[in-house]
Amino acid sequence: MTEKFILALDQGTTSSRAILFNQAGEIHYSYQQEFPQYFPETGWVEHDAEQIWSSILSCIATVLADKHIDASQIAGIGITNQRETTVIWDKNTGKPIYNAIVWQSRQTADICEELKTNGYNDLFRDKTGLLIDAYFSGTKVKWILDNVAGAREKADNGDLLFGTIDTWLIWKLTNGKVHVTDYSNASRTLMYNIYDLQWDAELLDILNVPKSMLPEVKGSSELYGHTDPTCFFGGEVPIAGAAGDQQAALFGQTCFEEGMVKNTYGTGCFMLMNTGSKAVKSKNGLLTTLAWGIDGKVTYALEGSIFVAGSAIQWLRDGMRMIKDSADSELYASRVDSTEGVYVVPAFVGLGTPYWDSEVRGAVFGLTRGTTKEHFIRATLESLCYQTNDVLGAMEADSGIPFKTLRVDGGAVANNFLMQFQSDLLNVPVDRPVINETTALGAAYLAGLAVGFWQSKEEIAAYWKLDHQFEPEMAEVTRKSNYEGWKKAVMAAQIFK
């Protein structure tokens, strides 16, 4: 009998990936392709949505060709994506009217400030679980409609469609037949009521966004449509799962029980806690969001967002040219016993949870004549852990649930120094799974459940396997002193504007 697979399409901030998973939830084959980043002005980050689509097609073609797999062997497709990144296209031509505005981009900061000045912050928070911030899709949609010639008129005439990247890819894969998103992605737009589970007319009116542009919101694990043969190498394959990258990682880490937590170390760093059927309203700068929707029921989560994580290591490599390869950061950081009081605050695009300060910029403190490259690199790595500790404190305060362990994933978790320091700082075990591609795995699981490739969440949970558990080793006095220094550094960075 011909072996069947689930194909996960993982569309990230700097690259796209296609990964084949077998029945045991193991990676059969994967292929990754980077695509260009565009920075038209300071603080702006954009992508070409057509280049994203081309990269996805290239990844699919390579995976199928390299392993001699026919489209008929793909039982289903699951999609996971960089969230909030906004695409608007003409439904008649299929062409985007502007570059995709990336989640990191700050070009709508003025719109956000105006909304806050007009007193809308609590209204948006109460309906969406989010803060008014340039991070989310709603103000990006408004910016494009306000700044692209003719866009507002086309939108009012019903000729434009909006989508986060999942929506764009599903639309392209089905050759324009299906315009949908899932609960997790909709909950990141600043336009979706996470309690009523519908696009919110009042918020759309404030942002001046026509409802006709918006995709239909569906569950995270159900049949959305089939690939058009012209878009998928002759095959009509079910597209049956979708979730934003961080929610997909929570699912891939099998954090199905209330109180379970994962942290993803990617371009940014994102910690999510499953809060079950209850939407916990944060008093400490966390976001309340939808984790997923399955079988007609939604699961909520608390989320802490750190804007700069793995990209800080890329900065050491590409910007500062201190290392030739990202993996070298572990070697250099391990050569010194501490940073000798050096702190790096990597606020390149502001600070997320719990500060939500879009104006603060990156800073370095504690330099002396004795500071070396090793100290600087170590301080940059440690900044990821300090920011995670900030989020942990907020999450424990909001949920009332003390942490017992942290499940981790993302590219940076291969760095043993980073993971050990994280465990030391949090004072809880950090669990790294065998399969680190948990974002793609979550998308695969969601699709596989919908098409019967897997039968239940219990079956999936049994596939999770531990690679290494990092246990805390740091003395309490050192832990406290280090973290106090970090808080001072953040405070000083916020003053310098």
User: Phi and psi at residue 167, in whole multiples of 5°?
Assistant: -65, -45
List Cα–Cα distances, 257 to 148, 297, 300, 488, in angstroms: 45, 14, 11, 36
Known binder of ligand: residue 410?
no
Q: Is 33 annotated as a binding residue?
A: no
Question: How far apart (Å, rounded) are the C-alpha atoms in residues 485 and 194?
Answer: 38
Q: Where are the alpha helices (DSSP H) in 42-195?
A: 49-66, 109-117, 121-128, 137-147, 151-156, 165-173, 183-186
Ligand-binding site membership of 15 (annotated): yes
Which of 497, 148, 245 has its CA nearest to residue 351? 497
Does residue 107 have a known ligand-binding role?
no
According to the annotation, is 83 in a ligand binding site? yes
216-218 and 180-182 strand pairing: parallel
Beta strands in 189-347 (DSSP E): 192-193, 198-199, 216-218, 221-226, 238-244, 261-265, 269-276, 287-294, 297-306, 343-345
The answer to whether 455 is a known ligand-binding residue is no
Residue 479 is assigned to a ligand binding site = no
Please tell me whether 17 is known to bind a ligand. yes
Rounded-to-integer distance, Cα 109 and Cα 358, Å: 8
E strand residue ranges, 323-429: 343-345, 363-365, 406-409
415 is in an annotated binding site: yes
Q: What share of the chain is helix, strand, coil (3-state, %, to 5)?
A: 35, 25, 40
**Residue 407, annotated as binding a ligand:** no
Was 245 annotated as part of a binding site?
yes
The answer to whether the annotation marks 437 as part of a ligand binding site is no
Contact 238, 448 (CB under 8 A): no
Mapped onto helix, strand or coil, the DSSP state of residue 177 is: coil
State the binding site for glycerol. 83-84, 135, 245-246
State the binding site for sn-glycerol 3-phosphate. 13, 83-84, 135, 245
State the binding site for ATP. 13-15, 267, 310, 314, 411
State the binding site for ADP. 13, 17, 267, 310, 411, 415
State the binding site. 13-15, 17, 83-84, 135, 245-246, 267, 310, 314, 411, 415
